[in-house]
Homo-oligomer: A and B are copies of this chain.
Amino acid sequence: MIRIGVIGYGYWGANIVRNFNSIEGGKVVSICDVDGNALRKAQRLFPGTEVTSDFREVVTSPDVDAVAVVTPVSTHFELAKTALMNGKHIFVEKPFTASVQQAEELVELAEKRNLLIMVDHTFLFTGAVKKIKQIIESEALGKLYYFDSVRVNLGLFQHDVNVVWDLAPHDLAIVDYIIDGNAQALVATGEAHVNGLEDVAYVTIYFSDKMIAHLNVNWLSPVKVRTTLIGGGKKMLVWNDLDADEKIRIYDKGVEVNNKEGIYDLLISYRSGDMWVPKVDQVEALKLESQYFVDCINNDTTPINDGRAGIRVVKMLEAADKSLKKKGEMVYL
């Protein structure tokens, strides 16, 4: 039985507690928050669980095997580091840390002490992303051309991070997971209209072999959109995460080039066939991820969303900030 201490009992922390309490081999034994109301709510719902406003009680407790850090990103490093130094495995909310340096230090520390780091890249555990990964691995799409995501809505403005740090970690974690080949360089543009932090931003990521990714993130959109296009040489895919029943559509569409002699003899033909909507698993992603965390600890497995995946995502976020400041200058990764 892995005994888990959870630091941070806000909206997402409550989901974390509920899920870690619902899996096999895991159990939340301690909940920490600096907000008294949150603590009282936790106490009422989980009478048998210890609650505290002092995170040190959680990370030093001999009854705690692993610590989930579900707090604002600026606090991740200190909390996670202290937990690791006390010999606890850690589960850290995304984005992993506020800087690449912090992320690297945590990974190094965990490796030295043989502890596990899992970064909460929840989307990797959704039915949609698992299906997309499987489709790409089956090579049904052919060589990948582009990944184009739109993730926009009205609010919620953050006070400490811009829209890239708020919304893009989802897409960056997904891209990192499903695309073979590393990100090489990044260009970000955007603007801050309301509170001094960018609320509209566009990120282009160059991968090897002409693969390109683009993220459109926006806190000022009147409509909520969560749509990703993935284009390949053989087939193309549209993932609309807001469609309850038809999240993934696979189009048997494509372009074929017949190179005769020289560039002017290129004959381009278009192919358009059936469309197919595969059934997507509807299990709660966070439940699968919680179980996976406990299983990885028990089996000493490296998770797909380990600290190194966390580093790669934070590296792209850091590069995006740098590029944004220079209005689109390319930053190598």
Task: Name the contact of A189 in the complex, choosing from B193, B214, B238, B270 (C-beta under 8 A).
Answer: B214
The 5 closest A-B pairs by CB, nearest first: A187-B328, A222-B251, A222-B236, A189-B204, A275-B277
- Each complex incorporates copies of this chain amounting to 4
Describe A's contact surface by its main secondary structure.
strand
Are the C-beta atoms of A220 and B255 separated by less than 8 Å? yes
Q: Which residues of chain B are near A260, meaning CB under 8 Å?
A: none
Task: Name the contact of A328 in the complex, choosing from B221, B229, B330 (C-beta under 8 A).
Answer: B330
CB distance from A276 to the nearest CB of B (A): 5
Interface residues of A toward B: which range? 35 or more
Task: Name the contact of A220 in the complex, choosing from B195, B231, B278 (C-beta under 8 A).
Answer: B231
* A45 and B199 alpha carbons, distance in the complex (Å): 42
With A187-B189, A191-B146 as given contacts, are A255 and B154 in contact (CB-CB < 8 Å)? yes
Q: Which residues of chain B are near A264, meaning CB under 8 Å?
A: 159
Q: Which residues of chain B are near A223, meaning CB under 8 Å?
A: 229, 238, 245, 251
State whether the Cβ of A76 lies closer than 8 Å to any Cβ in chain B. Answer: no
Are the C-beta atoms of A253 and B202 separated by less than 8 Å? no
Q: Contacts A202-B214, A274-B278 given; 8 further ones with Cβ under 8 A?
A: A190-B212, A191-B212, A216-B216, A220-B236, A222-B229, A222-B236, A274-B279, A327-B330
Task: Name the contact of A277 in the complex, choosing from B196, B211, B216, B276 (C-beta under 8 A).
Answer: B276
Q: Which residues of chain B are near A159, meaning CB under 8 Å?
A: 263-264, 266
